[in-house]
Structure 1
Amino acid sequence: MDSSAPTPSESGASPGPPPRLVNWELAASTAAKLTPAGPRMKAAEIRAAVDELRRLAEQSVDHVHRITGLDAARDLRDSEVLIIDRAAWSKANARSFEVMLAPAITALAEKRPDQLKSATTAVGSAITGTQMGAILSFLSSKVLGQYDPFCSLLPGGPAAGRLMLVAPNIVTVERELNVVPSDFRLWVCLHEQTHRVQFAAAPWLRDHMMEQIGELSSSLVEKSDTLGERLQQAVKAAVAATKDSGKDDGGAPGSSLKGSILELIQGPEEKAVFSHLTAVMSLLEGHANVVMDAVDSSIVPTVKTIRQRFNARGQSRGALENWIRKLMGLDAKARQYSDGAKFVRAVTRQVGMQGFNAVWARPENLPTEEEIHHPDLWISRMDLSRA
């Protein structure tokens, strides 16, 4: 081959779009087909639930502002609130996943096209759009709400983020718990609106997380020579955990699985980035839980009952659901809520909410995973005087 020959970009030819690791349109359509519609409701009941959720989402912002002291809660007009069904949630997340992966894939396509092709083959043989659709389908029936800061990167997306409340799931859970619907809906809105306020208070946070996610995905894709092998090892670990299911956790399938699929395919570099992202997610989820639990009966009259029944709900999951949750890392996410909330409560006890709010000032102020578990280390590093 003549090394002096012009490359496609030098000759003006378009290199074309980079290959895709997953067919996200197929994933979204598969999820929509597999996911049940939700609880049976009359048209008038659906309209009433949607209207109330929209009203309570707006009402909760004032409570978040009062509890957090973050002035960003005063004006959230650059982001939007959507009351959606399960299929819409799956479609929105499929698009967001593709957006989050796009920078890494585009960069790799420009620098190492052959390696990206190899990675696409390795991943494609293990994870198809149909399989990803099945995962989205499972998640779409569990998520009550979500703030998506990355949708602003989509063509025609909102200027900031998008808060989604999954109405069928909220109604399903409030019926399962037999709690007052309006109280439960406000309680959920408090948590989700706190996420919206977090990203408004720290406008750098979205780009910081995108950078970290891009670094993680780039590292995984660049190691295409071992990616297929690591994926196979992850699957084998999941199968072994299923066979070994009777040894602990009451015999729930997958109870001996030590990590999620994502954790099992990481190398040392990926683990460092994953540790940082874990700390950030623990902070965000824990802070939202603290706000959610800071309300009293004057705001949510039946809040104590809701807390008790919601916390007990996780103990009644079936064996199959427990296995899927562990395999996908959802147990780790549950721990993030708990660990992050402990961190926030410990810090605010010592330096108050205003002292804690230093965390939103810049990326360097984010806690490490070690600091999440040892709040005194973060307080010392921030040089905050104790209250």
Structure 2
Amino acid sequence: MSDTPFGFGLPPEEPENGDEGKKKDQQSGGGQGPFGFGPPGAGGPGADNPLAAMFGSMNPNDLGAAFQQLGQMLSYEGGPVNWDMAKQIARQTVSQGTSDGTKDASVGPAERTAVQDAVRLADLWLDDATSLPSGAASAVAWSRAEWVEATLPVWKELVDPVAERVGAAMGDVLPEEMQAMAGPLIGMMRSMGGAMFGTQIGQAVGVLAGEVVGSTDIGLPLGPAGKAALLPLNIASFGKDLGIPLEEVRLYLALREAAHQRLFSHVPWLRSHLFGAVEGYARGIKVDTAKLEDVVGQLDPQNPEQLQDALQQGMFQPEDTPEQKAALARLETALALVEGWVDAVVHAAAKPRLSSADALRETLRRRRATGGPAEQTFATLIGLELRPRRLRDASRLWASLTDARGVDGRDGLWAHPDMLPTASDLDDPDGFVHREQLDFSELDKMLGEAASGSAEKTNLKKDDAPADENKDDDKGDGTE
């Protein structure tokens, strides 16, 4: 099947060998993708999805009964995503554990204390590496389930605009006369779409909860503002085969979390800038309505399997519009600058103090390059794939700016989005640094000349003042 950015699709028909084949298909998870609506052979929470089972057994004779049952099951009337279902699926995914066999567990007092101490020490080290003050008012240790609970509100803010646009495109494709006749059916389809979105997003968030080590792994502030968060269980899994003491791994990851907190706390426009790029992408979504109308026009109401086949063939592929390209480029560049700044600042703080700093830095870079949490999440939810080359270039640019202008000059670029490097600047970091040096030299020269001119004028006024006073005195003497 051809996947859309949200992996729409439905399972194939019921096997021809009757109840026995149906039973085998259900036991093997056949007809279900990673989120319960894709190709066969995948497991996960979707394997027990009643929607997939229903569509798998649907035939023309019980079409009415099937939709009646579907309407009862999908009574959800909220937004484009059923977030109650997403939360439930995410929690179920977390409870199943990760592929390495680790199960989620409550965080103990010793782990909480270790995280708090690590964040506190990390903030002290960062004071020498950045001019931005601490942004973490508190430090917390989360279980995977707690990470899901704490980050779902931000996922909702990120995903809803995209899901809304895709859902609207799905509803608008029917001719007006069909929409008038099929009003209740469209409502049920939207509820079904909300359930499909909720299932997929819940699965994605649940899987991500087994990988992330903090609240800022994907370059966005997913947790509450001012709260540095680490996941002790995932930190232990991350450092298990590195041959580096757990204390050093925890401290290095605490440096990254604390650096992100400083940036997002003291650059007030940054969060809205990033989230605005996601909304810009959503506004640019344009579904190929001509293709959809062609498919819908050829559907036979007496042959519902035809609709199922059309869904499987990816009839909801969004077009690659200039608006989307521009929004994704803006988001990708901003995320690269955030990650590059954190990488450069953390390395500056850790290098003199941790013997494992270089190894940990390279491990995290490779993790991202081979499909880390950020790439997987954005590729699944909004079609964005971060390019590791951008992160390395951004880190090199920030390091070069530090050498050329110092910590204060480097961090001063975050004062306004127009001052930040662009995507073309990431292609030529040295050129940007050199140009910035020239621009600031000229600015300093202009300011110096302005200051000198102002001083000369002030001196001239001072020199003229006594003469005027004497002149007034002479006039006064004459009148007397």
Please give the TM-score of this superposition, normalised by the length of structure 1. 0.67
Per the TM alignment, residue 195 of structure 1 is displaced from its structure 2 partner at its CA by: 0.9
User: Structure 2 counterpart of 1:60, which letter?
Assistant: A
- One-letter amino acid matched to 1:48: A
- Of the candidates 279, 286, 306, which is equivalent to residue 340 of structure 2? 286
Task: Label 1:350 to 1:289 Cα distance change in 2 as closer, same or farther (>3 A).
Answer: same
Cα RMSD (Å) of the superposition?
Answer: 4.3
- Separation in 2 of the partners of 1:352 and 1:267? 41
The alpha-carbon deviation at position 22 of structure 1 amounts to 1.9
Query: Would the aligned equivalents of 1:85 and 1:167 in 2 still touch at CA under 8 Å?
Result: yes
What amino acid maps onto 1:337 in structure 2? L
1:65 paired residue number: 127
What amino acid is aligned across from residue 144 of structure 1 in structure 2?
V
Secondary structure of 2:392's aligned partner: helix
Change (3 A) 1:194 1:68: same
Q: Closer, same or farther in 2 for the Cα pair 1:293/1:335, shift >3 Å?
A: same
Pick aligned residue for 1:23 from 82, 90, 102: 82
2:81–2:195 Cα contact (<8 Å) kept: no
Q: What is the aligned counterpart of 1:56 among 112, 118, 126?
A: 118
Following the alignment from structure 2 to structure 1, what is the Cα–Cα distance between the partners of residues 384 and 213?
14
Tell me the residue number matched to 2:141: 83
Tell me the residue number matched to 1:180: 245
Report the counterpart of residue 245 of structure 1 in structure 2: none
In the superposition, relative to structure 1, how do residues 174 and 264 fare at CA in structure 2: closer, same or farther (>3 Å)?
farther
Aligned residues of 1:122 and 1:228 also touching (Cα < 8 A)? no
Q: Give yes or no for contact 1:149–1:199 (8 Å, CA) kept in 2.
A: yes
Matched with 2:277 is: 212
Matching of residues 300-319 of structure 1 within 5 Å? 300-307=354-361
Q: 2: CA distance between counterparts of 1:345 and 1:284?
A: 13
Paired residue for 1:9? none
Bigger radius of gyration, 1 or 2?
A: 2
- Paired position in structure 1 for 2:93: 34
Residue 248 of structure 2 corresponds to residue 171 of structure 1 = no
Q: Counterpart of 2:349 in 1: which secondary structure?
A: coil
The DSSP-based 3-state class of the residue aligned with 1:295 is: helix
Aligned partners of 1:181 and 1:19: how far apart in 2?
44
Q: Which residue identity does 1:84 align to in structure 2? A: W
The structure-2 alpha-carbon separation of the partners of 1:25 and 1:183, relative to structure 1 and needing over 3 Å to count, comes to same
Rate the CA distance shift 1:97–1:18 in 2: closer, same or farther, 3 A: farther
Aligned counterpart in structure 2 of residue 371 of structure 1, from 400, 410, 425: 425
Deviation at 1:161, TM superposition (A): 4.6
Q: Secondary structure at the match of 1:81?
A: strand
Structure 1 match to 2:205: 136
Aligned to 1:10: none
Q: Which whole-Å CA distance do the structure 2 matches of 1:20 and 1:224 have between them? A: 20
Offset of residue 201 of structure 1: 2.4
How has the CA–CA distance of structure 1 residues 114 and 176 changed in structure 2, closer, same or farther, with 3 Å as cutoff?
closer
CA distance 1:141–1:333, shift in 2 (3 Å): farther
Cα offset, 1:332, TM superposition: 2.2
Say if 2:288 and 2:318, in contact at 8 Å, map to a contact too.
Answer: no
Q: Structure 1 69/131 Cα, relative in aligned 2: closer, same or farther at 3 Å? A: same
The answer (yes or no) to whether the contact 1:191–1:288 under 8 Å persists in 2 is yes
Deviation per residue, 1:75-105 (Å, 9 max, x gap): 643xx43321222223333321212455788
When normalised by structure 2's length, the TM-score is 0.55
For structure 1, the 5+ residue unaligned runs are 1-16, 152-157, 230-238, 241-262
Greater alpha carbon shift after TM alignment, 281-290 vs 41-50: 41-50
Match of 2:259 in 1: 194
Deviation at 1:145, TM superposition (A): 1.6
Map Cα deviations across residues 262-297 of structure 1 (whole Å, 9 max, x no partner).
Answer: x98541111111111111100110111112222356
- Give the secondary structure class of the aligned counterpart of 2:276: helix
Alpha-carbon spacing, 1:278–1:305, altered in 2? closer, same or farther (3 Å):
closer
Deviation at 1:194, TM superposition (A): 0.8
Cα distance change, pair 65–226 in 1 and its aligned pair in 2 (3 A): farther
The structural deviation recorded for 1:44 is: 11
1:3 aligned partner: none
Q: Which amino acid aligns with 1:28?
A: K
Partner of residue 329, structure 2: 275
